[in-house]
Chains A and B, each alone.
Chain A
Amino acid sequence: MSTLRLEIVTPERTVYDKDVNMVVARGVDGDLGIMPQHIPLVTPLKIAPVKAKIGNNDEYIAVHGGFMEVRKDKVVILAESAELGSDIDVHRAQQAKERAQDRLNHKQSEVDHRRAELALQRALTRIRVGGGE
């Protein structure tokens, strides 16, 4: 099976660098499945898990925003932060999720609301990738 290179880079380090068979990411307009020989593409990403398919295994990486650049044999994801499942503290993410939900339930200014929503998304992404569900 042909492969493509998936790199996930943050300002601090390269989080992920492997050959995979398929990448599934959530772009701003919806989910995208990228296989080798995809047309070159650039799109911003939403806060969501990115799935990397290697053979019959799936690996999940929590990617918090950023964007994706697709080339024929390579996918580069640039994000402000990204975490592998093994690096995630699920307990902490659960707490963050509860905090964020709590804040959403109380009426607040629009900025706070937006911020809490983003925090909630990040927490949910972390929990899913960290295997907390």
Chain B
Amino acid sequence: MAKGMREIKRQIKSTQNMKQITKAMELVAAANLKRAQNAALAGRPYADKLKEVVSSIAGGGGSVKHPMLQSREVKKTAYIVFTSDRGLAGGLNSGLLKKFVDTLKSKHKSKAEYDLFVIGRKGRDYLKRRDYAVVQDVIGVPDSPKFADVKAIASAAVGGFEQGTYDEVYLVYNRFINALTQLPTVKQLLPLDAAAIGATKQAGPSAGYEYEPSPEAVLNVLLPKYAETLVYSALLENKASEFGSRMTAMSNATKNATKRINELTLTYNRARQAAITQEIAEIVGGANALS
């Protein structure tokens, strides 16, 4: 009996250690989530302002035409895929990648029709292992990412669109709804949705701006920037999703560990009691035999 007890005690100890780790990870993820949310909030004025100005030009002139606002025949598509570097975040990455691969299979006949830009180690490894052509990848993005961290990849994709290498650019990321819910999303980045931009027109000020040197020239500078900003905000959102998902996953793990410890403790106590009872029975038996 004593041997079984030692075994149970060891299991309790190891579960306790595990619980400590998951608990710590949960707390760290919660703190990071808070920071990621703040970062997303801090970036909003910039994105809003850009959108406002872009829509006031695009909506105001009516005659302004820009290749980034017009859809053309799709020969080649670029996807920017956002994943995390580290795992233990529940089904975050696997859910996203599964959806993404399904999209690829249903939309494209051959692998020559698309190029992949990947952010995050998990996505890169997953896609490379399955022989998808990853054109460019970024790993080791810090927990509070700077704009510079995605600048290279964003300019490559947006520049590719401008030069006509790509006819469409999509963002693949986890949309952050709340700490419990993240939605795998495939969203079109380019060509920019003129209707969506125009829809916010009323919200902006109707001040008749003067553009220097010309509306087209300003739009030429602004639209690529706007697209890059959207890439950055997708990164921030995916970061927030990562932490939210990790927090939930770790909180579940901690809960399970607690439950398991309770069960094991119960079994342990039972075994201990049984051992004591047996010992007493043996002593009593021995004493009776003597008398």
- Show the binding face of A for B, using Cβ within 8 Å: 9-14, 27-29, 39-44, 66-67, 69, 71, 76, 78, 80-81
A-B pairs with the 10 shortest C-beta distances? Answer: A43-B212, A44-B221, A11-B147, A40-B207, A40-B209, A41-B210, A11-B46, A9-B46, A11-B43, A42-B209
Q: Answer yes or no: B156 CB below 8 A from chain A CBs.
A: no
Check B45 against A14 for contact (C-beta < 8 Å): yes
CA distance A10 to B45 in the complex (A): 9
If A12-B146, A42-B218 touch, whether A27 touches B212 (CB-CB below 8 Å) is yes
B104, CB-defined interface residue at 8 Å: no
Indicate if the CB atoms of A78 and B50 lie closer than 8 Å.
Answer: yes
Do A76 and B47 form a contact, CB below 8 Å, given A12-B146, A71-B207?
no
Once the chains bind, are A13 and B221 in contact (CB under 8 Å)? no
Interface bits B185-209 vs A (CB < 8 Å: 1, else 0) = 0000000000000000000010111
Chain A residues closer than 8 Å to B42, beta-carbon distance: 12-14
Q: A80-B151, A80-B225 are in contact. Are A40 and B49 (CB under 8 A)?
A: no
- Tell yes or no: B82 within 8 A of A by CB: no
Additional A-B contact list (10), CB under 8 Å, known A10-B147, A42-B53: A9-B46, A11-B147, A11-B232, A12-B146, A13-B42, A14-B45, A43-B218, A67-B221, A81-B147, A81-B148
Q: Which of chain B's residues have a CB closer than 8 A to the CB of A69? A: 49, 53, 209
Tell me whether B213 and A78 are in contact (CB under 8 A). Answer: no
Q: Which A-chain residue is minimally distant from B236 (CB atoms)?
A: A11
Tell me whether A39 and B229 are in contact (CB under 8 A): no
Q: Which residues of A have CB within 8 Å of B213?
A: 28-29, 43
Q: In the complex, what's the smallest C-beta–C-beta distance from B117 to chain A, in angstroms?
A: 19
Q: Are A42 and B151 in contact (CB under 8 A)?
A: no
Interface of A is mostly: strand
- Chain A residue nearest to B212 (CB atoms) is A43
Whether A12 contacts B147 by the Cβ 8 Å rule is yes
In contact, A10 and B218 (Cβ under 8 angstroms): no
A12 to B205 Cα, complex, angstroms? 24
Residue B222 CB within 8 A of the other chain: yes
- B229 with A40: CB separation less than 8 A: no
Q: Closest CB-CB distance, A38 to chain B, in whole Å?
A: 10
Q: Is B211 an interface residue (CB 8 A)?
A: yes
Q: Is B12 an interface residue (CB 8 A)?
A: no
Which of B97-141 touch A at CB < 8 Å?
none
> Which residue of the partner chain A has the closest CB to B42?
A13
Residues of B within 8 A of A80 (CB): 147, 151, 225
Residues of B within 8 A of A41 (CB): 209-212
- Chain B: which residue is nearest A41 at the CB level? B210
Q: What are 15 A-B contacts defined by CB distance under 8 Å?
A: A9-B49, A10-B147, A11-B46, A12-B39, A12-B43, A27-B212, A28-B212, A40-B207, A42-B53, A42-B209, A42-B211, A42-B218, A43-B212, A78-B225, A80-B225
Q: Does B57 interact with chain A (Cβ within 8 Å)?
A: yes
